[in-house]
């Protein structure tokens, strides 16, 4: 199971990458895509939407099940990877290249609750 060391993680299986401009890029982990199985539908939030940490803001559906994707921090959605709508199975093939959305964190947003690769690995029993 791939867990890149340079990323941060949530217990709900999102990965988070901090970009040079301070925005956060978010996707789902290899563990998450493997558990979901073949992904056939993705619904993403619209750019400009304000979100709070822990909000269910996107949906991924596999053949087996529907799964909510949560905002790891509070802030504003600045971009969504709408190209995934046509090819949702990209997330199965390359979960760390297939970002879902980008958030500009609110001024008081905290990244302290995010896990590092080792902590995430432990949380999924690796």
Residues lying near other proteins in the complex (CB under 8 A): 34, 37-38, 40-41, 43, 59, 61, 63-64, 66, 85-86, 92
Instruction: Find the angle CA(114)-CA(120)-CA(122) to the nearest 5 degrees.
Output: 135
Minimum CB distance to other proteins smaller for 20 or for 86: 86
Structure tokens at 60: 């991924």
Minimum CB distance to other proteins smaller for 38 or for 118: 38
Minimum CB distance to other proteins smaller for 38 or for 126: 38
Distance (Å, whole) CA 116 – CA 120:
6
Shortest Å, Cβ 59 to other proteins: 7
Structure tokens at 42: 């993705």
């Amino acid at each position: 199971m791939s867990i890149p060391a340079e990323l941060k993680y949530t217990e709900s299986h999102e990965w988070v990458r901090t970009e040079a401009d301070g925005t956060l890029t978010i996707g789902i982990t290899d563990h998450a895509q493997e558990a979901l199985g073949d992904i056939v539908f993705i619904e993403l939030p619209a750019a400009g939407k304000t979100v709070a940490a822990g909000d269910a803001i996107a949906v991924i559906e596999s053949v087996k099940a529907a799964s909510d994707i949560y905002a790891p921090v509070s802030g504003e959605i600045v971009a969504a990877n709408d190209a995934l709508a046509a090819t949702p199975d990209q997330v199965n093939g390359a979960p760390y290249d297939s970002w879902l959305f980008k958030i500009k964190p609110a001024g008081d947003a905290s990244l302290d609750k995010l896990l590092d690769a080792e902590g995430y690995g432990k949380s999924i029993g690796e």
